[in-house]
A and B are shown apart, each in its own frame.
Chain A
Amino acid sequence: MKKRQYSIYLAPAIILTLVFYIFPLLYLCYVSLFQWDGLGPMKFVSTQNFQKVLADRVFQSAFKNTLIWILSALFLHIPLGIVLALMLSRKPKGWKLMRIMYFVPNVISTTAIAFLWYFIFHVDVGLINNVLKAVGLGNLAHPWLNSLDTALISSQIPFILYVGLTMVIFLTQLSTIPESLYEAAEVDGANGLKRDFYISLPLMKPAIATNILLNTAFCLRNFEYPFLMTGGGPANKTTNLSLYIYRQMINANKYGVSMAAGVITVIMGFCIMYSVSLIGKERKGKTYD
């Protein structure tokens, strides 16, 4: 290809990246130094917005909760996906149907799922409390999304449970492992769990890296679950960074403060995502055969 052709082929992508990443990034950093209500004139306040945000109890709670979301992805969501993928890769009866059904929640919108689980955890009409009452455990019935101790974990349950996409990515990786490897292992006496630990798991590392990246990204931008299920309550126990930025912008009209929180989120997100991608890169270039 000639030089000019490269620029033509790259142009749409470069425009998208400049308009939706480079410009917003510069704008975010610049306006975070101003006091602004979104309409009136901007007033330069230097780093005051950052000081306000970092001292804000709600922001600290939002920061902590976002980290807890990422931990739930790493230690609950992804391991569940691995277990299910390893089980289905044995091709038990009906595995194809199960693979299809496990993926169903992933084609349903997060909004609908968040609402559904809002109702499932509902005190009066909720499925969980009513099942508990029906089996005689009525004293365990609980306002799940409204109590300090259960609100955060309850709002994470649908995310942790719906592992369809994560599982399919693992299954895809598993399907590339040559059958001969397992046969060779069988000759050496490696069956059952040994086969999983010594062959499948090590060879799944690229998919694990991909899934960590995808799910961390999801947790960082997750908005629907806290926004719809708890509204950030009770006592900001479930507020996360997205919700904090949104609230400062829409409810408080503090655009400068909202953008300062945005800058902090970008820096935090960049550090986390970049270190995760380094883990992934180390594994690259390995072949199985």
Chain B
Amino acid sequence: MIKKFKVSVMIMYFFLLLVFAFMLIPFVWLIISSFRPNADLFNAPFAIPEKLSFENYIAVFQSHPMLLYFGNSVAIAFLVTVITIFAAVMASYACIHRFRVKPGILLLFSLGLFIPTNAFMVPYYVLINRIGLYDNILGIALVYAGINFPMSFMVIKGYMDTIPAELKEAACIDGAKARQVLMKVILPISVPGIVTACVFIVINSWNELLFANLLNQSDKSRTIQVAIRSFLTTFEANYAYAFAAMVVTILPTIIIYALLTDKIIGGMTAGSVKG
């Protein structure tokens, strides 16, 4: 009995570490390769580098306004989060009450969950052009807000639904106004749900390439994702530069994640079990 138990534990560890290796070795390889000259990569791609050099990184920063691209991506992620969370929290708060057209409203909001928005390439393109926000981070952010709204609404409303009705009633009896009930009672309790939604929104808008590419023309609205895509064409022959550019783009998110791990994982673990 005891022996059998140990074998199963060993198989489990072996499997966990195997997946772990498959997931993370590519990133280690990427980081090592980014410090090596291009010629080395072709001659001995798998060797341990003899010396590490920052040459690739310097070249990337000299040839491209990386900080501008990075700033654009941060600004877009921030705008999307603010717009989407604002709309989702307000609507969720209204929807924990009963009112006559509520089923219709819920249907309207959940419609987006069932629509693959990439089918809207032309409509979004035309729309953003018409309102004059083509090649503008606000245009990209608005499209992302639209795309992310249904999911965020479902997560936040799902969380608010679990708040006991007595709590809201108690607040109302005390004579509190709707806005005060939201700010003082509902919002503080809903934090885990809102964190989950924020994580989804930030990850989605940070990762997005399709619409960022479609709605962008010049450097002033180029996101970091669109930028690394262009590296493969401009640095075609020089993979080492492309590797360095990729490390530069993934490092910030990893640092943020490292700093906020508990909030992200913990926040989600506390709030995302809504079937």
Binding site for B on A (CB under 8 A): 1, 3, 5-6, 9-14, 16-17, 19-25, 27-28, 31, 38, 80, 83-84, 87-88, 90, 92, 98-112, 115-117, 119-120, 124-127, 130-131, 134, 161-162, 165, 168-169, 171-173, 175-176, 192, 205-207, 209-210, 213, 217, 220-221, 223-224, 227-228, 241-242, 245-246, 249-250, 255, 258-259, 261-263, 265-266, 269-270, 273-274, 277, 280, 283-284
Taking a contact as CB atoms under 8 Å apart, the answer to whether A28 and B203 are in contact is: no
Taking a contact as CB atoms under 8 Å apart, the answer to whether B122 and A262 are in contact is: yes
Residue ID in chain B nearest A129 by CB atoms: B45
- Which residues of chain B have C-beta atoms less than 8 A from A227's C-beta? 209-210
Supposing A255-B122, A262-B122 touch, asked if A111 and B269 sit within 8 A by C-beta, the answer is: no
Q: Give the shortest distance, in Å, between B144 (CB) and chain A (any CB).
A: 10
- Which residues of chain A have C-beta atoms less than 8 A from B250's C-beta? 108-109, 112
- Which residues of chain B have C-beta atoms less than 8 A from A162's C-beta? 23
Taking a contact as CB atoms under 8 Å apart, the answer to whether A242 and B118 are in contact is: yes
Binary contact readout B74-109 vs A (1 if CB under 8 angstroms, 0 otherwise):
000000000100111011011001010000010011
Q: B239 near A: Cβ within 8 Å?
A: yes
Q: Give the shortest distance, in Å, between A76 (CB) and chain B (any CB).
A: 13
* CA–CA, A99 and B261, complex, Å: 10
Q: Give the shortest distance, in Å, between B80 (CB) and chain A (any CB).
A: 11
Taking a contact as CB atoms under 8 Å apart, the answer to whether A107 and B12 are in contact is: no
List 24 A-B pairs, Cβ < 8 Å: A1-B99, A13-B109, A14-B108, A16-B83, A19-B127, A23-B127, A92-B9, A101-B20, A104-B24, A107-B254, A112-B249, A115-B246, A116-B26, A124-B42, A127-B25, A127-B45, A172-B268, A207-B273, A223-B118, A224-B209, A241-B118, A249-B122, A263-B119, A265-B118
Identify the stretch in B50-58, B60-68, B132-140, B224-232 within 8 Å (CB) of chain A at 4 or more residues. Answer: B224-232
Supposing A25-B115, A125-B42 touch, asked if A245 and B261 sit within 8 A by C-beta, the answer is: no
- Which residues of chain B have C-beta atoms less than 8 A from A116's C-beta? 26-27, 30, 246
Taking a contact as CB atoms under 8 Å apart, the answer to whether A131 and B115 are in contact is: no
* CA–CA, A242 and B116, complex, Å: 9
- Which residues of chain A have C-beta atoms less than 8 A from B120's C-beta? 20, 24-25, 28, 262
Taking a contact as CB atoms under 8 Å apart, the answer to whether A269 and B87 are in contact is: no
Taking a contact as CB atoms under 8 Å apart, the answer to whether B116 and A266 are in contact is: yes
Supposing A84-B16, A130-B45, A223-B209 touch, asked if A17 and B93 sit within 8 A by C-beta, the answer is: no
* CA–CA, A85 and B159, complex, Å: 23
Q: B173 near A: Cβ within 8 Å?
A: no
- Which residues of chain B have C-beta atoms less than 8 A from A165's C-beta? 203
Residue ID in chain A nearest B251 by CB atoms: A108
- Which residues of chain A have C-beta atoms less than 8 A from B9's C-beta? 92
* CA–CA, A275 and B150, complex, Å: 18
- Which residues of chain A have C-beta atoms less than 8 A from B249's C-beta? 109, 112
Residue ID in chain B nearest A27 by CB atoms: B123
Taking a contact as CB atoms under 8 Å apart, the answer to whether B23 and A161 are in contact is: yes
Q: B160 near A: Cβ within 8 Å?
A: no
Q: B242 near A: Cβ within 8 Å?
A: yes
Q: Give the shortest distance, in Å, between B246 (CB) and chain A (any CB).
A: 5
The A-contacting residues of B in range 141-195, CB under 8 angstroms, are 142-143, 145-147, 149-150, 153, 178
Contact among A107, A117, A124 with B45 in the assembled complex (CB-CB below 8 Å)? A124
B-side interface mostly: helix
- Which residues of chain B have C-beta atoms less than 8 A from A269's C-beta? 114-116, 119
Residue ID in chain B nearest A268 by CB atoms: B116
Taking a contact as CB atoms under 8 Å apart, the answer to whether B242 and A115 are in contact is: yes
Residue ID in chain B nearest A282 by CB atoms: B275
Taking a contact as CB atoms under 8 Å apart, the answer to whether B207 and A109 are in contact is: yes
Taking a contact as CB atoms under 8 Å apart, the answer to whether A9 and B273 are in contact is: no
Binding site for A on B (CB under 8 A): 8-9, 12-13, 15-16, 19-20, 22-27, 29-30, 41-42, 45-46, 83, 86-88, 90-91, 93-94, 97, 99, 105, 108-109, 111-127, 142-143, 145-147, 149-150, 153, 178, 203, 206-207, 209-210, 214, 224-225, 228-229, 232, 239, 242-243, 246, 249-250, 253-254, 256-257, 261, 264-265, 268-269, 272-275
- Which residues of chain A have C-beta atoms less than 8 A from B143's C-beta? 20
Contact among B114, B121, B209 with A258 in the assembled complex (CB-CB below 8 Å)? B121
Contact among A20, A28, A104 with B147 in the assembled complex (CB-CB below 8 Å)? A20
* CA–CA, A42 and B145, complex, Å: 30
Taking a contact as CB atoms under 8 Å apart, the answer to whether A98 and B16 are in contact is: yes
Taking a contact as CB atoms under 8 Å apart, the answer to whether B109 and A24 are in contact is: no
Taking a contact as CB atoms under 8 Å apart, the answer to whether A125 and B86 are in contact is: no
- Which residues of chain B have C-beta atoms less than 8 A from A171's C-beta? 269
- Which residues of chain B have C-beta atoms less than 8 A from A120's C-beta? 26, 29
Supposing A92-B16, A115-B242, A173-B273 touch, asked if A100 and B261 sit within 8 A by C-beta, the answer is: yes
* CA–CA, A223 and B232, complex, Å: 17
Q: Give the shortest distance, in Å, between B263 (CB) and chain A (any CB).
A: 12
- Which residues of chain B have C-beta atoms less than 8 A from A131's C-beta? 46
The 7 A-B residue pairs whose C-beta atoms are closest, nearest first, are A20-B146, A206-B275, A24-B123, A13-B91, A262-B119, A9-B94, A269-B116
Chain A CB within 10 Å, residue with most, of B115, B145, B149, B225: B115
- Which residues of chain A have C-beta atoms less than 8 A from B246's C-beta? 112, 115-116
